[in-house]
């Protein structure tokens, strides 16, 4: 789950409504990254955004609504996985992006993931964002099939999960210090498994 941070490249609906949304969501990310969920309030977000608090309450209602919209806005960008010319290179680049996002300072992505355990609305938002990101990453597998690196009918989602899960597992759940070798190792492991037929679709009988 990359590209959470405010980016000038984000596609924003024009006009005042779009500008206010951008200011408010930038403020949510900044507050969350710098102060954490426990300090996150609608009033603090409104003050930081320079937007009237009544506007924020009317449009987003509460912290859960703000977080859900941060996740939804993250899907509005034009992020695409890098095209490095090889399956292993593409998966490694994806993992390097995730590692950078998870260890960025302030820790906006890490704080957003943590926040998704606090609010049902944020949890639904993060689920939609993951789905969006994995769907966009399927092009990595399609390219590899076109290059003849993978057989047609490879299960793209299972391959992508295998390649990316270890990084999130170690950093987010196991809370281990970042291991700079992990992005490449996890990519290589997934490619070796793929070459051995692990993601053939349907999976062969055991």
- Contact residues for a second copy (CB under 8 A)? 88, 113-114, 117-118, 123, 126-127, 130-131, 134, 158, 161-162, 164-166, 168-170, 172-176, 184-186, 188-190, 192-193, 195-199, 203, 206
Q: How far is the CB of 117 from a second copy (least distance, A)?
A: 4
3-state SS class at 69: helix
Q: How far is the CB of 127 from a second copy (least distance, A)?
A: 5
Preceding omega of 106 cis (within 30 degrees of 0): yes
Tokens of 90: 């593409």
**Alpha carbon distance 185, 166 (integer Å):** 10
Decide whether 50 or 192 has the Cβ nearer to a second copy. Answer: 192
Decide whether 26 or 132 has the Cβ nearer to a second copy. Answer: 132
- Tokens 């937007």 — which residue? 51
**Alpha carbon distance 202, 79 (integer Å):** 30
Decide whether 46 or 98 has the Cβ nearer to a second copy. Answer: 98
Q: How far is the CB of 162 from a second copy (least distance, A)?
A: 6
Decide whether 24 or 199 has the Cβ nearer to a second copy. Answer: 199
Q: How far is the CB of 27 from a second copy (least distance, A)?
A: 22
Q: If residue 30 lies in a helix (H) or strand (E), which one and from where to where?
A: helix 15-35
Decide whether 60 or 168 has the Cβ nearer to a second copy. Answer: 168
Decide whether 43 or 120 has the Cβ nearer to a second copy. Answer: 120
Of 22, 20, 23, 40, give the one whose Cα is nearest residue 31: 40
3-class secondary structure per residue, 78-110? CCCCCCCCCHHHHHHHHHHHHHHHHCCCCCHHH
Q: How far is the CB of 50 from a second copy (least distance, A)?
A: 30
Q: How far is the CB of 2 from a second copy (least distance, A)?
A: 14
HSE toward the beta carbon, residue 174, CA cutoff 13 A: 11
């Amino acid at each position: 789950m990359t590209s959470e941070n405010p980016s000038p490249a984000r596609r924003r609906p024009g006009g005042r409504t779009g500008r206010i949304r951008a200011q408010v969501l930038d403020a949510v990310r900044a507050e969350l990254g710098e102060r954490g969920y426990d300090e996150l309030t609608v009033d603090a977000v409104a003050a930081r955004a320079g937007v009237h608090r009544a506007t924020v309450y009317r449009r987003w209602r509460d912290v859960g609504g703000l977080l859900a919209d941060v996740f939804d806005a993250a899907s509005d960008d034009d992020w695409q996985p890098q095209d490095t010319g090889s399956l292993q290179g593409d998966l490694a680049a994806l993992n390097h992006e995730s590692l950078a996002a998870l260890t960025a300072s302030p820790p906006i992505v890490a704080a957003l993931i943590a926040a998704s355990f606090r609010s049902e609305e944020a949890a639904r938002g993060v689920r939609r964002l993951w789905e969006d990101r994995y769907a966009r990453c399927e092009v990595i597998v399609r390219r590899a099939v076109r290059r003849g690196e993978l057989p047609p009918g490879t299960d793209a989602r299972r391959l992508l999960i295998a390649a990316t899960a270890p990084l999130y597992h170690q950093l987010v759940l196991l809370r281990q210090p970042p291991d700079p070798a992990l992005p490449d190792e996890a990519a290589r492991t997934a490619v070796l498994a793929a070459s051995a037929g692990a993601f053939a679709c349907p999976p062969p009988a055991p």
